[in-house]
């Protein structure tokens, strides 16, 4: 191979490359080089970096690469030197056959600027092929009567090189009978002919052995030999003659295999065997002998392989007609292939951007595509467009290149991915189309704040909840993606009842679940107002707020509280008076109770749980009033014990009980009379009981006297200070607080009384004076002054029984005290 690359004067490869690698630029964006064939891989072609006005290291940085379509890459870029080099061995004859000029075109893409440069490289021919006859021997039969000067066509040699490296001349080995004549035609082809110099004598010599030498004009010269065997025959002095030297036919490329094209005809004026003509294709290298078939007998030319306009548009077929003794003549068949629309357009995506940010403006480049149709004329004209209502446009670039760009701003939240379909349609009939698909991802930016599903939230939590219990869950949605859609939740700092909200409620920053940090008490905290913030993780982060109301639900956790009657602290029991003359439904007393809960949990109902005399008394279900259920009888006991239960309506219900003692008598003297009718006790220790009664009565009398003094003082001040009770909270000065029951801040003065006792130390009989009690009730009207009020009597006194004890009781009534209390409004 190195012999092919040397000059005759012995110059080196460097000089040859310098001469052949000359660069010339013609037009905008077009670069031309020339390079000899058969160079080794990596051989220098041209300084492409310099011609692109770039530095060598910029080739890789700016994405410079070679773009070629449908052909093996013959050249490559050397990123170190910035040179264009060969990618492998280049055979000019394989690329361009016998074309006078062999041009290889491709494009160079500067990807960062989406610029395309056309590069055209001319492949220079080297004398690397010797002429070839395609056969080693040729047999020629010549009649002995052939006159000198007769010419016999010989096989031609084929040299795939061009120019001076192609076939130059023929030489014939020296002999006495034949000479060589070379016939040149208008297209430059040379046809050797064997010329008979003198008459042949078959009897003298039957066979002549000759050698035809074909040589080219290259340096060094290449040649090949054809051995010619001349057989002397009897006279056949007329070769076949074709009816026309050239036959022409035009056919469409889509004809089926076996289709008849035309028939050639040659005649021979000889007779008999010498006039029998056979037709053959001339031994021409290439695909012609494979594509066409010539019937040797009939001269019919047909197709043996499919035609393709895109591979070849024209065929020149050389044929021979030979008679029985070997005389032949030649003719040409010129076949023109007509194009049909049998190739769909081809779409090549040269450069592609896989994703584009949603903030990109209109005109953002996405891809560079090339559209090509192998057909010609109208069949090769292509229209390309984007299918569907897509926000993209195609802009024409150079040659058949198009840029795919955005038509408007994109919104990832509406469409996060586009499946773009490009359709290329030619102008043929019928038109053919090709689709190409591009997937484009829209990159997200943080342009959407989190959004809660509701404008505000309300949550309910029962009181007495366990600490750490889940209260509620808020959820926000962010249409962005990845980090821009990662939401964290937080509570806005605030205070409630002097303490930070964070001591009451916490929130899971990832899930939005709220937890109670303490156990709520409905009676202390009814509701909480919170502000929840949802923030994404974008840059910068976006957030939104929502209000949350947490309402504490009441639970039945408080038992009813009985305000009246209250239990005295001195061990005595409040006694209610029920006259024996009372009719059924008579109001004996009223149980007053409250419940700190609310709603149904605070609805109270009253019922008689236990009674010493069943059926005698009844309790109002909702009022708590204790009334007689029937008329009182003489046989009914003086002392009646009632247990009243107060129950709420919670789940489960809670209740409280109170024990009432009712004295059945028309008046207090009757009570004492019945007590006095009891016989003294016969036991010797009854004297101790008498002492106990004396002490008890004395204490009560002292209290009563003190109370009378206070009332007299208040009476004197009554006309000066009519609102003295209001100023002092409704409590007369000096009155023990144990005599009042508070209902909603109002105190009711229940009872006062006085006793006078005279006892004989050694006597079995005692004398007691019980003044009629005086009562004042701030919760009732003046009419209540006429009504009998409860009486406090020592429980031991009511339980005294004995036949031997005789008690004489006298009562003295202080009615004027009662009237004075009523006039003062007590």
DSSP conformation letters of 534-572: EEE-SSS--EEEEEEEEEEEP-S-S--EEEESPPPTTS-
Question: What pLDDT sits at residue 569?
Answer: 55
Task: Measure Cα distances from 593 to 397, 566, 648 in Å.
Answer: 96, 10, 10
**Level-2 CATH architecture, domain 34-124:** Sandwich (2.60)
Question: What pLDDT sits at residue 167?
Answer: 67
Question: What pLDDT sits at residue 618?
Answer: 93
For 460-509, what is each residue's pLDDT tens digit? 988 888 988 888 999 999 888 888 889 999 988 888 877 888 888 999 98
Taking domain 561-669, whether its CATH number is 2.102.10.10 is answered by no
In whole angstroms, what is the distance from residue 720 CA to residue 547 CA? 58
Question: What pLDDT sits at residue 631?
Answer: 87
What is the secondary structure of 504-522 as a DSSP string? Answer: TEEE-TTT-EEEESS---T
pTM score, whole prediction: 0.42
| Maximum alpha-carbon separation in the chain | 205
In whole angstroms, what is the distance from residue 252 CA to residue 32 CA? 36
In whole angstroms, what is the distance from residue 494 CA to residue 187 CA? 103
Task: Measure Cα distances from 262 to 227, 248, 250 in Å.
Answer: 34, 9, 10
Question: What pLDDT sits at residue 286?
Answer: 66
CATH number listed for the domain at residues 241-338: 2.60.40.60
Question: What pLDDT sits at residue 51?
Answer: 85
CB 348 within 8 A of CB 401: no
CB 470 within 8 A of CB 515: yes
The pairing of strands 365-372 and 346-352 is: antiparallel
Candidates 1.10.10.10, 3.30.40.10, 2.60.40.60, 1.20.1250.20; CATH matching 451-553:
2.60.40.60
> At which residue do the structure tokens 């012609």 appear?
288
Q: Which long-range contacts (CB under 8 A, 24 or more apart) does 65-69 make?
A: 65/108, 65/109, 65/111, 66/106, 66/107, 66/108, 66/109, 67/106, 67/107, 67/108, 67/109, 67/116, 67/350, 67/370, 68/106, 68/107, 69/346, 69/348, 69/370, 69/372
Question: What pLDDT sits at residue 8?
Answer: 34
Q: Which fold has domain 346-443?
A: Immunoglobulin-like (2.60.40)
Same-fold call for 451-553 versus 561-669: yes
CA angle, residues 59, 64, 66, in degrees to nearest 5? 130
Domain boundaries, the chain: 34-124, 137-233, 241-338, 346-443, 451-553, 561-669
In whole angstroms, what is the distance from residue 362 CA to residue 658 CA? 87
Q: Quick one: what percent of the chain has pLDDT higher than 90?
A: 25
CB 758 within 8 A of CB 769: yes
> At which residue do the structure tokens 């034949």 appear?
178
Taking domain 137-233, whether its CATH number is 2.60.40.60 is answered by yes
Q: Exposure string (b/e) for 721-732, b if CB count within 10 Å is 16 or more? A: eeebbeeeebbb
Question: What pLDDT sits at residue 721?
Answer: 55
CB 590 within 8 A of CB 555: no
Residues of the chain with pLDDT under 70: 1-29, 69-71, 98, 167, 187-188, 234-235, 283-286, 568-574, 667-668, 670-690, 718-826
In whole angstroms, what is the distance from residue 42 CA to residue 85 CA? 5
Question: What pLDDT sits at residue 560?
Answer: 92
Question: What pLDDT sits at residue 214?
Answer: 87
Helix (H) or strand (E) holding 50: helix 48-51
């Amino acid at each position: 191979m190195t012999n092919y690359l040397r000059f005759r004067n012995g110059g080196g490869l460097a000089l040859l490359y310098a001469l052949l690698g000359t660069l010339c630029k013609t037009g905008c964006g077009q670069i031309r080089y020339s390079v000899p064939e058969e160079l080794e891989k990596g051989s220098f072609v041209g300084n492409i970096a310099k011609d692109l006005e770039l530095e060598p290291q910029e080739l890789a940085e700016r994405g410079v690469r070679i773009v070629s379509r449908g052909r093996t890459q013959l050249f490559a870029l050397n990123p170190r030197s910035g040179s264009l080099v060969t990618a492998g061995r280049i055979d000019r004859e394989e690329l361009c056959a016998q074309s006078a000029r062999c041009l290889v075109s491709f494009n160079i893409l500067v990807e960062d600027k989406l610029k395309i440069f056309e590069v055209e490289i001319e492949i220079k021919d080297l004398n690397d092929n010797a002429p070839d006859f395609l056969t080693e021997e040729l047999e020629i039969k010549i009649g002995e009567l052939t006159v000198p000067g007769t010419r016999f066509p010989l096989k031609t040699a084929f040299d795939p090189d061009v120019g001076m490296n192609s076939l130059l001349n023929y030489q014939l080995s020296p002999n006495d009978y034949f000479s060589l004549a070379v016939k040149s035609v208008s297209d430059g082809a040379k046809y050797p002919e064997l010329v008979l110099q003198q008459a042949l004598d078959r009897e003298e010599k039957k066979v002549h052995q000759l050698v035809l030498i074909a040589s080219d004009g290259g340096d060094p010269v290449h040649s090949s030999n054809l051995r010619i065997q001349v057989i002397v025959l009897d006279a056949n002095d007329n070769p076949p003659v074709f009816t026309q030297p050239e036959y022409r036919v035009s056919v469409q490329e889509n004809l089926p295999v076996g289709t008849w094209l035309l028939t050639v005809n040659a005649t021979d004026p000889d007779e008999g065997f010498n006039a029998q003509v056979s037709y053959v294709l001339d031994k021409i290298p290439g695909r012609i002998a494979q594509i066409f078939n010539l019937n040797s007998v009939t001269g019919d030319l047909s197709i043996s392989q499919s035609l393709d306009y895109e591979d070849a548009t024209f065929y020149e077929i050389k044929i021979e007609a030979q008679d029985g003794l070997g005389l032949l003549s030649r003719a040409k068949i010129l076949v023109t292939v007509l194009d049909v629309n049998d190739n769909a357009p081809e779409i090549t995506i040269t450069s592609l951007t896989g994703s584009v940010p949603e903030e990109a403006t209109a005109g953002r480049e996405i891809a560079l595509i090339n559209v090509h149709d192998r057909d010609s004329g109208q069949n090769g004209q292509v229209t390309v467009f984007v299918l569907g209502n897509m926000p993209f446009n195609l802009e024409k670039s150079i040659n058949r290149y198009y840029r795919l760009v955005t038509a408007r701003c994109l919104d990832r939240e509406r469409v996060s991915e586009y499946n773009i379909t490009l359709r290329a349609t030619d102008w043929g009939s019928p038109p053919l189309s090709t689709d190409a698909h591009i997937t484009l991802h829209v990159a997200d930016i943080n342009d959407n704040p989190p959004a809660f599903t509701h404008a505000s939230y309300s949550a309910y939590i029962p009181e007495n909840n366990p600490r750490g219990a889940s209260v509620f869950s808020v959820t926000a949605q962010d249409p962005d993606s990845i980090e821009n859609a990662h939401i964290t939740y937080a509570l806005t700092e605030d205070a409630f009842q002097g303490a930070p909200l964070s001591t009451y409620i916490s929130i899971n920053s990832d899930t939005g679940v709220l937890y109670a940090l303490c156990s709520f008490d409905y009676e202390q905290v009814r509701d909480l107002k919170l502000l929840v913030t949802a923030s994404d993780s974008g840059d910068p982060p976006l957030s939104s707020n929502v209000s949350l109301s947490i309402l504490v639900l009441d639970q039945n956790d408080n038992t009813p509280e009985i305000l009246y009657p209250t239990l005295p602290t001195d061990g005595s029991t409040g006694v209610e008076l029920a006259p024996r003359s009372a009719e059924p439904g008579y109001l004996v007393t009223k149980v007053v109770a409250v419940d700190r809960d609310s709603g149904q949990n605070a609805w109270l109902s009253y019922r008689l749980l236990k009674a010493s005399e069943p059926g005698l008394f009844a309790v109002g279900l909702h009022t708590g009033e204790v009334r007689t259920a029937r008329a009182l009888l003489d046989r009914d006991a003086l002392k009646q014990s009632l247990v009243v239960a107060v129950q709420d309506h919670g789940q489960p219900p809670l209740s409280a009980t109170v024990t009432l003692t009712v004295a059945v008598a028309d008046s207090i003297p009757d009570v004492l009379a019945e007590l006095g009718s009891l016989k003294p006790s016969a036991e010797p220790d009854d004297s101790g009981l008498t002492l106990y009664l004396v002490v008890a009565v004395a204490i009560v009398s002292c209290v009563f006297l003190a109370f009378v003094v206070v009332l007299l003082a208040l009476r004197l001040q009554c006309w000066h200070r009519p609102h003295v009770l209001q100023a002092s909270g409704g409590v007369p000065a000096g009155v023990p607080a144990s005599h009042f029951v508070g209902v909603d801040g109002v105190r009711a003065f229940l009872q006062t009384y006085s006793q006078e006792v005279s006892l004989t130390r050694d006597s079995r009989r005692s004398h007691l004076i019980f003044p009629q009690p005086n009562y004042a009730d701030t919760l009732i009207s003046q009419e209540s002054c006429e009504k009998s009020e409860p009486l406090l009597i020592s429980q031991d006194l009511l339980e005294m029984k004995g036949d031997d004890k005789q008690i004489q009781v006298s009562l003295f009534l202080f009615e004027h005290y009662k009237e004075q209390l009523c006039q003062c409004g007590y």
